[in-house]
A and B are shown apart, each in its own frame.
Chain A
Amino acid sequence: MSGAAAQRMGWVPAPRQGWVAPHIASEFPGLGIAWVEVDAKPGKSPDPVRRRLRDLSNRTYGSQAIRLRERPIPWAYRVFYRQIGLDPDRTRTAVEQLMLDRLYDGGFRSKGLPADALDIAIVETGVALRAFDADRIVGSLCIRDSAPGEKLEGVESEMAQGTLTIADEMKPVGLLFGSTAEGYGVERGTRRIAIAAVQVKGVPQIAVEEALWMAAATLEAV
């Protein structure tokens, strides 16, 4: 069942579409951010989730990891990384990092929730997902560049002007494909989790919806 079909059946909340600063959107057509909020707490993954990770491990091979960068969605993220000045072989895309960890560890290790829910959705769809503490987010999420003198909470130094960030209506909550601001990540006290998907050119909307639905459904099932 697709994510859209699942929403129609009322299984998970519909994804909310964030906005992209107009001058960034004109430079990167297709860039977007969508998220869902789920009532869930962090904790140990239940058995069905760990079993699903094991199943994923069993059907993931080295050859798939090597050829991953030729598949449309992982390739789209690699291209975007290049276009924003990152080296995807050093700062790896979410799905490539997971596949690499799978090869090193011999399987997808359980890291608890919500990390396992995100990992399952990322490996299945290739879409880059992030988790935030939903109660800390003010208003809508967006992708914008940093203003002069702006800081990421928990980091001493100022961000270089023009750094691409994920932000709420108040301040940046994390770097785009980078670290999360202190207090905005999922921590022990978190009661609502926001799962955000960053969409880039070449990643179809249905894949984004599928990823969000998959991660949210895994969390809601607990």
Chain B
Amino acid sequence: MPALLKHEEFAGLGIGVDEREARLELRRQISRLEAELSSVFGEAFGHTEVPHQVEAIAAAPRVLDLGELEVIRDRLAERIGEARAALADRAVVETQNRELLREMLDAPAEFKWVRVSRADVGEPGCGAWHSRPLLGPIGMLMGWWQVKVSSGCPLARRLAAVEREVEASEATEPRSATETRCAGFHA
């Protein structure tokens, strides 16, 4: 009975087939999943790379059909799963590194030249813990080892590109009358 499979025929059977409602529901699911993926991406950034790309379905913007929306929904869900797994793996590594750091601080001589960065233990910044001999070669001969903490990130300053732009604009533009007057007055 192929006629029964046609959508129009379902109305006669009292079964409403409203694909628009289904599409709206899928779009709601996509918006929730996108929020979740964005949150995982933000959480993971700087710790580890997480898969977050979901390929485009269409070359140009258009209204997607039910099947296409399902594909996007499924791919987003898949990426979230993969991203969470990557984040969990990274958490295990960071826990191991924190344990290593704790042991290194207790007995630096047992971890000669080992260096653990803040990123390795999931902390922000540029610092690192480095197991090094005290007094250089003397410490190496005597077995005097210590964990040295690096001083962290370089001091923040304006980006070089911005400085260049400011300099270029100042060089090309004539100074305003007020600026010229002030300069003359101070001189």
Chain A residues close to B by CB (< 8 Å): 24, 26-28, 47, 50, 54, 57-58, 66-67, 69-70, 75, 78-79, 82-87, 89-91, 105-107, 109, 145, 159-160, 162-164, 175-178, 202
- From A66, A85, A176, A177, name the one whose CB has the most chain B CB atoms within 10 angstroms: A85
A-B residue pair count with CB separations less than 8 angstroms: 108
In the complex, 17 of the A-B residue pairs with CB atoms within 8 angstroms, ordered by the A residue number, are: A27-B20, A27-B24, A27-B63, A50-B169, A83-B31, A84-B64, A85-B62, A86-B56, A86-B58, A90-B56, A107-B161, A107-B162, A107-B165, A145-B62, A145-B63, A159-B60, A160-B60
Across-interface contacts of A86 in B (CB, < 8 A): 56, 58, 61
B160 interface hit (Cβ, 8 Å): yes
User: Are A82 and B63 in contact, CB atoms less than 8 angstroms apart?
Assistant: no
Structural contact, B38 and A85, CB atoms closer than 8 A:
no
Chain B positions within 8 Å of A47 at CB level: 169, 173
Give Cα A2–Cα B31 distance, bound, in whole angstroms.
29
B140 touches A (CB below 8 Å): no
In the complex, A90 Cα to B53 Cα: how many Å? 9
How far is B30's CA from A91's CA once the two chains are assembled, in angstroms? 18
Measured CB to CB, the residues of B under 8 A from A are 20, 23-24, 27, 30-31, 34-35, 38-39, 41-42, 45-46, 52-64, 68-69, 72, 76, 158-162, 165-166, 169, 173
B159 touches A69 (CB 8 A): no
Asked whether B62 lies within 8 Å of A164 as measured between CB atoms, the reply is yes
The docked-state distance in angstroms from the alpha carbon of A109 to that of B161 is 10
Summarize B's interface: helix, strand, loop or mixed: helix
Considering only CB atoms, which chain B residue lies closest to A71 in the complex? Answer: B38
Q: Write out the residue numbers on chain A whose beta carbons fall within 8 Å of the beta carbon of B61.
A: 84-86, 163-164, 175-178
Chain A residues with CB below 8 A from B41, complex form = 66, 69
* A51 to B: closest C-beta gap in Å: 9
Partner of B160, one of A106, A175, A176: A106
A69 to B37, CA, bound (A): 10
- Report yes or no: B62 in contact with A66, Cβ–Cβ below 8 A: no
* A79 to B76 Cα, complex, angstroms: 11
Contacts of B72 in A (CB 8 A): 82-83, 85
**CB within 8 Å for A85 and B42 given contacts A27-B23, A79-B34:** no
Known: A50-B169, A57-B159. 9 other contacts (CB 8 A): A26-B20, A54-B165, A66-B41, A67-B42, A70-B35, A83-B31, A87-B55, A107-B161, A176-B61
Q: Which residues of A contact B63 (CB under 8 A)?
A: 24, 27, 84, 145, 162, 164
Q: Which residue of B lies closest to A69 (CB)?
A: B38
Known: A82-B76, A85-B68, A162-B62. A106 touches B35 (CB 8 A): no
Note all chain B residues with C-beta closer than 8 A to A163. Answer: 60-62
In the complex, the answer to whether A178 meets B76 with C-beta atoms within 8 Å is no
Contact B20 A70 (CB under 8 A): no
Closest-by-CB residue of A relative to B30 is A82
Q: How long is the Cα–Cα vector from A67 to B35 in the complex, in angstroms?
A: 11
Which residues of the other chain, B, contact A83 by a CB distance below 8 angstroms? 27, 30-31, 64, 69, 72
Q: CB distance A57 to B30 under 8 Å?
A: no
Q: Given A82-B72, A83-B69, A163-B60, answer yes or no on A89-B53 (Cβ-Cβ < 8 Å).
A: yes
Which of chain B's residues has its CB closest to A83's CB? Answer: B27
The distance in angstroms between the C-alpha atoms of A58 and B161, with both chains bound, is 11
Q: Which 3 A-B pairs have the closest CB atoms?
A: A106-B161, A85-B58, A87-B56
Chain A residues, CB < 8 A from B62: 84-85, 145, 160, 162-164
